[in-house]
Amino acid sequence: MSSIYIYWDESHLWGLLIWRALKAFGLPHRLVRAKEISQGLLSRKPPAALVVPGGLARRKFELLGKDGVREIRDYVSHGGVYFGFCGGAGLGLSGRHGLGLCPWKRRAFTDRLQHAMSGHMRVRPALDSSLIPPSLGASPLLPVWWPARFETSPEGEVNILAAYEAPGPDFWVADIPLQSIPRGALGDLETIYGLSIWPQFMVDQPCLVEGGYGQGRYVLSYTHLETPASRDANLWLAHLIRELTGLATHDGAALTPAWNLESLPRRWNDADGGQDLALAKAGLEASIREGMEELLFFRRNSWLLGWRRGIPGASLNALYSMVCQAQSVPPCSEAREYWREHAPQFLETLELFRYGLTGYLLSERLAMTTSGTANTIPESVLSEQRMALFGSRMDHGGIFAELLGVMDELLYLTLTGHGE
């Protein structure tokens, strides 16, 4: 039976989500890297489908190089199936950093706040497609996590499987839960001050599309159908896989279980480096608590932090999720050897990162408190601290990038070597 390939590079948290979903569904799968794709893996051993998780589409594209881009296009054109979620959807589009499977491009935002949308949205499914699960209602709830948008075009035949209707009960705009604001009062403020908080621009925008490329098919989704314990989304993902690959989920399973990062068990022995992973997890948890005490972080759910707008909470959340999951999967020999070699430097770098993060979070909190006074902390100072720790807003850098690289490789080795 052919496996589903997960394009692992530059996926991080989002790669873990789709890995968990396919594992819960009991579907055969394996992680693949850009280098393998560029060296002809898809033509030598064609998968049942290529799944590209979220993450930075530009970096995924650059890692593939010309050979990797050609290999994916050839795979799909000869009958393959491409599933792209969020950043993976962007990679499937046309444009500078796209594969060109879909003739549409990514639509630019007119306001940065438009990208700061997260939570579940009510969507309107298509009426007459076999790719719509029959059990879904008229307005299923699908999760979005800071989605981009499609730039629709009359070129080509792109079929819209779902379009946004309205925010769901857990929908946030940046650090504002919409349900906490009276709709009438918000409307008045938007009119008086020219604000645009309510996500009206999303209504009727396509969020899940499919189409053909040569003899193959693509599905591009700005909704994260692999989100843990999101019933409608998980049902739809299982249905799409079954319809497009013929692979059926194990015992009809179509739900990704809840993911409680904090309570994941540790399955590494101390002799293998389990104690070092536990120290890394505890250190990151301490930093998260510091951010909460400074009122900069808060809990959205068991796997996702919330953060004040402008704070790089997504990066910290990704690193924490990777550490938690890595220590919860029994290690293979390659993973044990890699961690023994890299753990001492990782922990040393982590302590440096945490020390800098403490000062940065305090600076952000004081800047908010003293805003508008003569003694406020300049944005240039905060920006320098962010760059040193995390890099730019649109890329990974700083000390964080060193930690992320080690944990990304450790996870790849662990998940690949654990019977995948």
Q: What is the DSSP string of 237-263?
A: HHHHHHHHH-PPPGGG---PPP--STT
Note the pLDDT tens digit of each residue in 392-420: 877 889 999 999 999 999 999 999 985 43
Supply the pLDDT for residue 10: 95
Distances from the Cα of 299 to the Cα of 289, 305, 418, angstroms: 10, 5, 31
Q: Looking only at Cα atoms, what is the longest distance across the chain?
A: 68
Rounded CA-CA distance 288/353 in Å is 13
| Amino acid making up residue 66 | K
Share of residues in the chain with pLDDT > 70 (%): 98
To 10 degrees, the CA torsion angle through 59, 65, 69, 75?
-110
Supply the pLDDT for residue 195: 80
- In this prediction the pTM is 0.95
The residues with which 142 forms a beta bridge, in sequence order, are 121
User: What are the structure tokens assigned to 58, written together?
Assistant: 């530009």
Q: Please check whether residue 338 is in contact with residue 413, taking contact to mean a CB–CB distance below 8 angstroms.
A: yes
Evaluate the CA torsion angle 46, 52, 57, 58 in order and state its sign. Answer: negative
Q: Please check whether residue 322 is in contact with residue 13, taking contact to mean a CB–CB distance below 8 angstroms.
A: yes
Note the pLDDT tens digit of each residue in 11-49: 999 999 999 999 999 999 999 999 999 999 999 999 999
Supply the pLDDT for residue 419: 40
Supply the pLDDT for residue 264: 96
Q: Please check whether residue 250 is in contact with residue 108, taking contact to mean a CB–CB distance below 8 angstroms.
A: no
Rounded CA-CA distance 171/178 in Å is 6
Supply the pLDDT for residue 260: 97
Supply the pLDDT for residue 109: 78
Taking 70 as the pLDDT cut, the residues of the chain under it are 1, 251-253, 418-420
Note the pLDDT tens digit of each residue in 295-305: 999 999 999 99
Per-residue buried b or exposed e for 54-83, using 16+ beta carbons within 10 Å of the residue's own CB: bbbbbbbbebbeeebbebbbebbeeebbbb
Note the pLDDT tens digit of each residue in 122-153: 999 998 899 999 888 889 999 999 999 999 98
Rounded CA-CA distance 224/227 in Å is 6
Q: Please check whether residue 227 is in contact with residue 207, taking contact to mean a CB–CB distance below 8 angstroms.
A: no
